[in-house]
Structure 1
Amino acid sequence: MKKHINVVAAVIHNEHKEILCALRSPVMALPNLWEFPGGKIEEGESHETALIREIQEELNIQIEVGENVEDTYFEYEDFTIQLTSYFASINSGEMKATEHAELRWVTIDKLIDLEWAPADIPSVLTIKNLQNI
């Protein structure tokens, strides 16, 4: 039986209607693919608590978690993932990548141009179809 992972991701947006995209580093699983930052939900954590903790750890910033964007189940070769993404905005902190190879602000119409991790694609498509964020 494949390992199953519950994950949350932040679709962080700014005042220019750009979305923060994170490039997975060469040493991570699914290397060199883009994703929305986030991570595993630990036992006993709510989605919101996990997302706030993960973004603090990965990006050194505090966020405010907003509406749900997408719930995606995806089966990779070695594991399955339940990915729940949420809109988020930055409250405070100086952003720096502690795990990712690159962070990039991308306009909504250009999101589809990046090579995304498969589980993140449904969120990308949902965002692309929204008029306002």
Structure 2
Amino acid sequence: MEKVIKEVMGGVFWENGRILVMRRAPFMSCPGSWEFPGGKLEAGETPEQCLARELREELRIEAKIGEYLAENSHDYDFGVVHLSVYRVLSWKGEIALTVHDDMRWVPVQELAELPGLLPADVPVARALEKKLGATSKK
């Protein structure tokens, strides 16, 4: 039987050499795991529209979505997650945790080694370190 592919968009909040990650709450799948904020692409949405909607729903902010940064596919028991991440250029509002129970700003050089980072997110974190890491050394 062929596994379902879930198209997921993630937001990269990039400030002072650090990236924002969120911890999945106990009621979510993979509870306690860390991830980029975002969610599943719905029919008729562009990746940028999806990410803006998900950040509005999950974090209660209005975000301006920038360029595509990286992607990765990972095969989980329930199906394949294809994660694409985009830079969050700016946002309005105070971040509120609605489906996560914690958030953390992690230095880009440490992100791929963060205990509990979801498997689909690890290769993306490594790509971001190569892409954004040079700018954090200034």
Answer whether TM exceeds 0.5 for this pair: yes
Q: Structure 1 112/83 Cα, relative in aligned 2: closer, same or farther at 3 Å?
A: closer
Indicate if the aligned counterparts of 1:37 and 1:55 stay in contact, CA closer than 8 A.
Answer: yes
Structure 1: where are the runs of 5+ without partners? none
What secondary structure is seen at the aligned counterpart in 1 of 2:25? coil
Q: CA deviation at 1:75?
A: 0.8
**What TM-score comes out, normalization by structure 2 length?**
0.88
- 1:132 is aligned to 2:135: yes
* Stretches (4+) displaced over 3 A: none
**Equivalents in 2 of 1:18, 1:89: separation in Å?**
14
Matches within 5 A, 1:63-78: 63-78=63-78
Is 1:26 matched up with 2:26?
yes
1:49 shift after superposition: 0.3
State yes or no: 1:93 paired with 2:96. Answer: no
What is the match of residue 44 of structure 1? Answer: 44
Tell whether the 8 Å contact from 2:19 to 2:105 is kept in structure 1 after alignment.
yes
Structure 2 unaligned regions, length at least 5: none
Contact 1:61 1:90 in 2 (8 A): no
Q: Which residue of 1 is the match for residue 122 of structure 2?
A: 121
| Counterpart position of 1:110 | 110
User: 1:110 Cα shift?
Assistant: 2.5
Aligned-partner residue type, residue 20 of structure 2: L
Identical pairs, percent: 34
Letter in 2 for 1:121: V
Render the CA deviation track for 1:36-93: whole Å, top value 9, x for unaligned. Answer: 0000111000000000000011111121212212121111011111111111133211
Q: Would the aligned equivalents of 1:10 and 1:36 in 2 still touch at CA under 8 Å?
A: yes
Partner SS state of residue 29, structure 2: coil
Q: Give TM-score scaled by structure 1 length.
A: 0.91
In structure 2, the residue corresponding to 1:13 is in which secondary structure? strand
How many residues are paired up? Answer: 132
